[in-house]
């Protein structure tokens, strides 16, 4: 099975109030000639190969597959970020390269940023369910999120992916000026997944980030 190439570019700035959404806006404008950095194009949706995250207080730009090398090269040369009102110096950029193979193995993860699991249609269905049926509904969506993300990276598993939501609680998530139903959750699954992988909606903006537990 093909390996997933990953570049983790940790960006250290003096102003720790910068969000992953704001970072995407700044760098998307800087690299406006490359639509993968801002995802403003007329082409159909695909799994983002450039993802902006804020994990445990650290800003992170994650490049996947063809964009692993691109992110490493472009982000490593930055010395400042220009915002609409300021010019922020970058104190350091810490680059970590990885090559990841998907394997069938029991794993446990938790979402460290809100998981936006439901579109408008699925939200209506979810509201009409009760008790254990809600859990089963979300587990089906979670498996779909995992398979969709792997497919977007040209990874196709030869085993059936199953997931068990161990905990989940609703949480509102604001994306630009819109609010979405999101969840904080932990789960077990029969596959490994890359560190800080993004699942669900708005992963390019830093939502749905997972880490192993």
Q: Reduce the secondary structure of the chain to three states and give it as a string.
A: CCCEEEEEEEEECCCCCCCHHHHHHHHHHHCCCCHHHCCCCCCCCCCCCEEEEEECCEEEEEEECHHHHHHHHHHHCCCEEECCCCEEECCEEEEEEEEECCCCCCEEEEECCCECCCCHHHHHHHHCCCCHHHHHHHHHHHHHHHHHHHHHCCCCCCCCCCEEEEEEEEEEEEECCEEEEEEEEEEEECCCCCCCCECCCCHHHCCCEEEEC
Q: Write down which residue in 79, 100, 121 finishes a domain.
A: 100
CA-based diameter of the chain, in Å?
Answer: 52
pLDDT of 40: 61
Phi-psi category of 56—alpha, beta or left, where left has phi over 0 and alpha has psi -120 to 50?
left
What distance in Å separates the CA atoms of residue 82 and residue 89, rounded to the nearest whole number?
9
Based on the fold, state whether residues 167 and 147 are members of the same structural domain. yes
Listed as ranges, residues in the chain with pLDDT below 50 are 42
pTM (2 d.p.): 0.93
pLDDT of 15: 74
pLDDT of 176: 76
Please count the structural domains in the chain: 2
pLDDT of 43: 53
Based on the fold, state whether residues 20 and 71 are members of the same structural domain. yes
Q: Write down which residue in 54, 79, 100 finishes a domain.
A: 100
Evaluate whether 124 touches 96 at the Cβ level (below 8 Å). Answer: no
Q: Write down which residue in 73, 100, 127 finishes a domain.
A: 100
| Token code pair at residue 155 | 């990874």
| Token code pair at residue 108 | 């446990």
Based on the fold, state whether residues 79 and 136 are members of the same structural domain. no
| Token code pair at residue 190 | 């029969």
Based on the fold, state whether residues 159 and 188 are members of the same structural domain. yes
User: What is the extent of the structural domain holding 39?
Assistant: 4-100
């Amino acid at each position: 099975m093909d390996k997933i190439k990953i570049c983790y570019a940790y960006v250290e700035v003096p102003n720790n109030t910068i969000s992953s959404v704001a970072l995407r806006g700044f760098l998307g404008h800087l690299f406006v000639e490359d639509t993968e950095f801002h995802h403003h194009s007329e082409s159909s949706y695909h799994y983002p190969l450039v993802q902006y995250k804020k994990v445990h207080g650290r800003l992170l730009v994650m490049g996947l597959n063809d964009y692993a090398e691109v992110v490493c090269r472009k982000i490593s040369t930055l010395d400042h970020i220009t915002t609409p009102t300021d010019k922020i110096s970058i104190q350091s950029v810490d680059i970590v390269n990885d090559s990841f193979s998907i394997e069938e193995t029991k794993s446990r993860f938790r979402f460290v940023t809100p998981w936006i699991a439901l579109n408008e249609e699925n939200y209506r269905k979810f509201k009409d369910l009760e008790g254990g049926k809600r859990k089963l509904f979300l587990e089906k969506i979670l498996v779909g999120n995992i398979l969709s993300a792997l497919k977007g990276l040209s990874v196709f598993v030869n085993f059936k992916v199953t997931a068990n939501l161990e905990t989940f609680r609703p949480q509102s998530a604001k994306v630009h000026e819109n609010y979405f139903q999101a969840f904080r959750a932990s789960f077990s699954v029969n596959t490994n997944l890359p560190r800080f992988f993004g699942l669900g909606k708005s992963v390019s903006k830093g939502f749905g980030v997972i880490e192993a537990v």
